[in-house]
A and B are shown apart, each in its own frame.
Chain A
Amino acid sequence: MSAPTPASPGRYANSGGGPTLLPFDIGHSDYLALTDPATAFWALVKKERLAETLAGGPLLDAYRARVVEFARELHGLRFELKPSAVYVNPTERCNLDCTYCYIPRDMRRDGAHMATDKLLDALGRLKAYFATVMPAGRRPRIIFHGAEPLMNRAALFAAIDAYGDDYVFGVQTNATLLDDAALAFLTDRRVSIGLSLDGPLAEITDATRLTFGGKSVHAKVLDAMERLRGYESWSVIATCTAKNLDQLVPLVELFHAREVPTCMLNAVRCTLPGARTVKPADGALATHFIAAVERSHELFRASGRKLVVANFANILLAILAPTARRLMCDISPCGGGRAFFALAPDGGLFPCSEFIGLPAFDGGNLFRDEIADILKSPAFAKVTGRDVDKFAPCSTCAIRHFCGSPCPAEAHEMNGSMEKIGAFCGFYEEQVRYALRLIADGQAADFLWDGWDVGVETSFAVTLQ
């Protein structure tokens, strides 16, 4: 057999062996974007210079020299990571009955706790596994998640005390059980604490987050926020639904006034039918979300103090520094089952907490099976094999590796297949366009964590005057 015929030398963009650079509008008065979707490379080009740029010149020359390296980098990020974090659900129970929860209602109301000795055993098994896949000197992350982890407080605290030197711990809580003793325990041990609040006023939060008895928890969350003021490692998650979109700007104002260091304005995950009852439309979500992010920026400029909107910051990082991103929803395959996985109270392992209510995604049991085998199970492979390069419309999308088409649980449950888009394609499109406008205007750093670029090196920098 003769050697394969080589591609053309790559002299021209978008043909033969040449670099791919797809132009698309970002809504900026002066700039268009060019991307190579396969490598997540991007450039911003003055509109009147587009034809000249695509015909050749310094940008194409510089990119042609790096395209293989960038492809390799993105492949590593997408396919070669090892797990370094676990979402641990120490109980099935929750004292709230939120409209959009991804854990089935019966499980939250009547479910079981994980016994203390089982939780300690679980963290020991996980420690042994991480020792085989993580470099020495790096501690894996354990995020106690829910349901409401503080419903099983004794086990939780015993685990944190037993393994304080082995893991970096975080707790995501609805704050209703975060009394002074619990808060002191967690802050004394430098545990990262995440709260949840959906509105600046009780009537807004109450629209989606109430106890099973119908009582408001808004005041309790505000009280916990007040007691956390000044602590370095805390954050608040707001879930964006049709019930609170027009309150996102005042919500950001409340967060900033309360000195919240970081928040997330997460689009509601539409995995279970209840969540879809409060799904906002993409366009409205984008409008209100961007208004809230803009407001956070105004408050920063006025006060000098940042409130980072972490999920938007992550989109910016996906563009500026793909390997520096902190969250792994907005990439394909997502982080579920490969950068992290989730442990259910019965020992079941799932690719992500989002799947805990879906038995088909139970990959095996921590107390019976080898973690390495579970990671290769068909249940996990369904998630880790979801690749936006392989299904429409993502496969031809210019921004597919800034977005990742989250989330596979939504795609599977709401849209019928892993090879479908997630719930908010249009919303992600607008986020990326907005992020590129900020980059064009030199404002991106204002929206990122201070120190985000520590340990980060410039691998490509071309500015043409």
Chain B
Amino acid sequence: MSTIVTQQVPSTANAVAAQPAAAPAAQPTIIASRQSCDADGVGLSHYILMDRKPSA
């Protein structure tokens, strides 16, 4: 447990079909991440406002 690798959380995987098959990577012993942004307070409750373009 000696290597620290900073990494992004996996980005969106929209083009699934275009992803080449890859050899399985060794599992990390620890995974920890956090992402942050302005909490702009647009959160709602029992309604999802689709004001962003949905997936293709």
Contacts and interface: CB of A to CB of B under 8 A. Distances in A.
B25 to A, nearest CB: 9
Contacts of A326: 42-44, 48
Interface in A154-210: 168, 170, 172, 192, 194
A170 B49 contact: yes
A431 interface: no
Nearest to B39: A323
Interface string A310-327: 100000000011111111
B1 interface: yes
Interface in A426-465: 439-440, 442, 444-446, 448-453, 455-465
Interface string B13-38: 11111000000001111111111111
Given A46-B27, A194-B48, A304-B17, A458 B33 contact: yes
A85 B33 contact: no
B12 A463 contact: no
Contact of A82 (B6, B7, B26, B41): B41
Contact of B46 (A264, A306, A323): A264
Which range contains the number of B residues in contact with the other chain? 35 or more
Q: Is the interface of A mostly helix, strand, loop or mixed?
A: mixed
B29 A340 contact: no
A152 interface: no
Given A336-B45, A451-B52, 15 more contacts: A59-B30, A85-B44, A145-B47, A192-B51, A235-B48, A261-B50, A304-B15, A320-B34, A321-B37, A328-B43, A445-B10, A462-B31, A462-B33, A463-B30, A464-B28
10 contacts: A62-B4, A63-B32, A326-B48, A340-B45, A450-B12, A450-B54, A458-B6, A461-B8, A461-B33, A464-B2
Interface of A: 30-31, 41-46, 49, 52-53, 57-59, 62-63, 70, 73, 76-77, 81-85, 87, 138, 141, 143, 145, 168, 170, 172, 192, 194, 232-235, 237, 261-262, 264, 266, 269, 300-301, 304-306, 308, 310, 320-329, 331, 334-336, 339-340, 352-354, 439-440, 442, 444-446, 448-453, 455-465
Interface of B: 1-17, 26-56
